[in-house]
Structure 1
Amino acid sequence: MKKAGIIMIIGSLLLLGLFKFPLWNIMLGAPQYPDPMGMNIHITGIEGVHEFDIQNIDGLNHYIGMKKIPKPEEMWEFEVFPKVVGGMAVLGVIIGLLGIFKKLSYKWFLGWLILMTVLGVMGMYDFNLWLTDYGTDLDPNAIMKMTHPDGTPMTYKPPLFGHQKMLNFDVDSYPHTGAYMLFVGMLLTFIAFFVGKKEWKTNN
């Protein structure tokens, strides 16, 4: 399963792009901000798209009672996610190498993909929980208390995916380069499974 193993290794190594490129991006634009502010979410922390974006977003959030954007040491995810991604990349390379030397079945490629999919879904679920807490757990003593027409407090949860209007801000939340590399890597491991299946049947 030489071809399948090589494809598996390439797909697994693409996960390492998450250590360099952002996984997700959230942008906030408004008429008074001709240059939108934004956050790039990495597996190791959150960075501003521009130099003072985090500071400016925290400043705006203060008025409506939102928490400050967390530092890496304030969220366990930023310690665990790099270990998970690194571990899955190493595991994928090992499986690919063993596949090249015919030490295991092509089914291991699918097993790796299923495990990576489960971990990815859990990661997105956790990310959405954080967005919900970030946008709904507001300081009751905030300077501005915005309410809906029915009198209920307004929340400011950014969308997990897509566009949303929040007060006078347009908020866009979409995958970034790291997420696309992850997707391509997982797609390659899916291809490796079928290539491996074909090679396995040919040689047995």
Structure 2
Amino acid sequence: MKKAGILMILGSLLLLGLFEFPLWNIMLGAPQYPEPLGMNIYINGIKGVSEFDIQNIDGLNHYIGMQTIPKPREMWEFRVFPLVIGTMAALGVVIGLLGFFGKVNHWWFLGWFGLMAVLGILGMYDFNLWLNDYGTNLDPNAIMKMTRPNGRPMTYKPPLFGHQKMLNFDVDSWPHTGGYLMFAGMTLTLVAFFIGKKSKNIAS
């Protein structure tokens, strides 16, 4: 269980990368912008990829009635997510240490992985709700009112994952460094479970 415990600790510590690196990235490219506009989404706020990207995106959004990019104080998620990630990282380290010293079995590793997976799914669901509100809750007094061929107002919800064409913009939404570190950390904890299970079977 020592090797499994070490992997559990390492996997949990990788979550701390979310305090330094973006979890997600959304890029907007169009012919009139030689350099695409982008925003990096952290667990505690949203920043532009380049210095004036947020300002430029808000300027574009104003014309079609979209909301401005929220400040950290305007979304409860940016206060709660750091607490959740910090707690899960600390809990994982404690479980890993207990596993290293043989105080808990490999099922604790799987339990942590399952809890983290549920929290991740809830986080993605909440993120998608925000994207939906951001792209569909438009100001009726906007300067530009774009409509579909059937006459219904056009919406501008960015994709949760992948590529989408919106007007003359190509929008790409993908995980960033912090997201990949979280995925790698969770994978390590799952590997720790299987190694711990294997070592228990050998011992018995």
* Distance in 1, Cα, partners of 2:18 & 2:95: 20
CA displacement, residues 114-164 of structure 1 (integer Å, 9 cap, x when unaligned): 000000000000000000000000000000000001000000000001111
Shift of 1:201: 2.4
CA displacement, residues 12-64 of structure 1 (integer Å, 9 cap, x when unaligned): 00000000000000000100001000000000100000000000000000000
Where structure 2 has 5 or more consecutive residues not aligned to the other structure, the ranges are none
Identity %: 76
* Distance in 1, Cα, partners of 2:198 & 2:97: 17
For the aligned residue pairs, the C-alpha RMSD in angstroms reads 0.6
- Which one-letter code corresponds to 1:14 in the other structure? L
Counterpart for residue 170 of structure 2: 170
Secondary structure at the counterpart of residue 144 of structure 1: coil
* Distance in 2, Cα, partners of 1:166 & 1:199: 53
Where structure 1 has 5 or more consecutive residues not aligned to the other structure, the ranges are none
Counterpart for residue 82 of structure 1: 82
* Distance in 1, Cα, partners of 2:149 & 2:203: 69
* Distance in 2, Cα, partners of 1:54 & 1:127: 18
Does 2:187 align with 1:187? yes
Secondary structure at the counterpart of residue 147 of structure 1: coil
Counterpart for residue 141 of structure 1: 141
* Distance in 2, Cα, partners of 1:55 & 1:162: 24
Shift of 1:106: 0.8
- Which one-letter code corresponds to 1:131 in the other structure? L
* Distance in 1, Cα, partners of 2:161 & 2:183: 16
Q: Which runs of 4 or more aligned residues in structure 1 lie more than 3 Å from their structure 2 counterparts after TM superposition?
A: none
Shift of 1:199: 1.6
* Alignment map for 1:149-168 (pairs within 5 Å): 149-168=149-168
* Distance in 2, Cα, partners of 1:199 & 1:77: 40
- Which one-letter code corresponds to 1:6 in the other structure? I
TM-score, length basis structure 1: 0.99
Counterpart for residue 111 of structure 1: 111
- Which one-letter code corresponds to 1:100 in the other structure? F
* Distance in 2, Cα, partners of 1:74 & 1:150: 35
TM-score, length basis structure 2: 0.99
* Distance in 1, Cα, partners of 2:108 & 2:142: 53
Counterpart for residue 47 of structure 1: 47
- Which one-letter code corresponds to 2:36 in the other structure? P
* Distance in 2, Cα, partners of 1:100 & 1:162: 40
